[in-house]
Amino acid sequence: MSDCLFCKIRDGEIQGDIVFEDDDVLAFNDVNPHAPVHVLIIPKKHISTVNDMSAEDVSVMGKLFSTAKNIALQRDVSEDGYRLVVNSNKQAGQSVFHIHMHLLGGNKLGPMVDRID
Ligand code: 5GP
Ligand code: ZN
């Protein structure tokens, strides 16, 4: 059995507020939203970080974008704007090591990162 939180949501071992699912992709609302719309979009295949992507994973990563586009439209944030974020490894703040794309929208978003100067 996988120890990965998002694999457990994929497999129904942990409850997820699922907003979209197909053979390759799963999307669910973030349990601790940082914006009125905060959806996590994952490949169903377990890939830990972007560093672990292989050539065969390129198409599913493209599907994360098309899924984000569709959900943004459904949640009515397309026109006003939204942000897509993929944190990779610790300094970026990745806390769940199964690739996930954050879809954030519904209000004015702050700066993407703190200035470093
Ligand atoms: P990261 O920091 O790795 O980029 O993002 C992980 C995200 O997963 C966080 O926004 C966090 O709120 C969310 N998260 C953590 N545990 C759960 C959970 O059990 N269910 C859901 N739906 N989201 C979770
Ligand atoms: Zn996983």
How far apart, in whole angstroms, are the C-alpha atoms of residue 10 and residue 26? 7
**What's the pLDDT tens digit per position in 13-68?**
999 999 999 999 999 999 999 999 999 999 999 999 999 999 999 999 999 999 99
Cα–ligand 1 centroid distance for 68 (angstroms)? 17
> How many Å lie between the centroid of ligand 1 and the Cα of residue 3?
15
Torsion angles phi and psi, residue 12, rounded to 5 = 80, 10
Give the model's pLDDT for residue 112. Answer: 84
Name the closest-CA residue to atom 20, ligand 1: 31
Phi, psi of 26 (to 5 degrees): -130, 140
For the cut 70, the answer to whether the pLDDT of residue 117 exceeds it is no
Index of the ligand 1 atom closest to the CA of residue 29: 22
Res 109 pLDDT > 60: yes
Q: Taking all residues of the chain, what is their mean pLDDT, rounded to a whole number?
A: 96
- Residue whose entry in the numeric block shows the structure tokens 């490894």: 89
Amino acid 48: pLDDT: 98
Nearest CA among 28, 29, 99, 20 for reference residue 67: 20
| 102 counts as catalytic | no
User: What letter does residue 40 receive in the DSSP assignment?
Assistant: E
Question: Dihedrals φ, ψ of 114, to 5°?
Answer: -70, 145
Sign, Cα dihedral of 17, 20, 26, 27: negative
Q: Tell which residue, 81, 88, 74, 70, has the closest CA to residue 104.
A: 81
Non-local CB neighbours of 117 within 8 Å, separated by 6+ positions? none
Q: What's the 30 CA to ligand 1 centre distance in angstroms?
A: 6
Q: How confident is the model at residue 114 (pLDDT cuts 50, 70, 90)?
A: confident
User: Residues near ligand 1 with C-beta < 6 Å?
Assistant: 5, 14, 16, 28, 30-32, 40, 87, 93-96
pLDDT at residue 1 tops 80? no
Has residue 2 got a pLDDT over 90? no
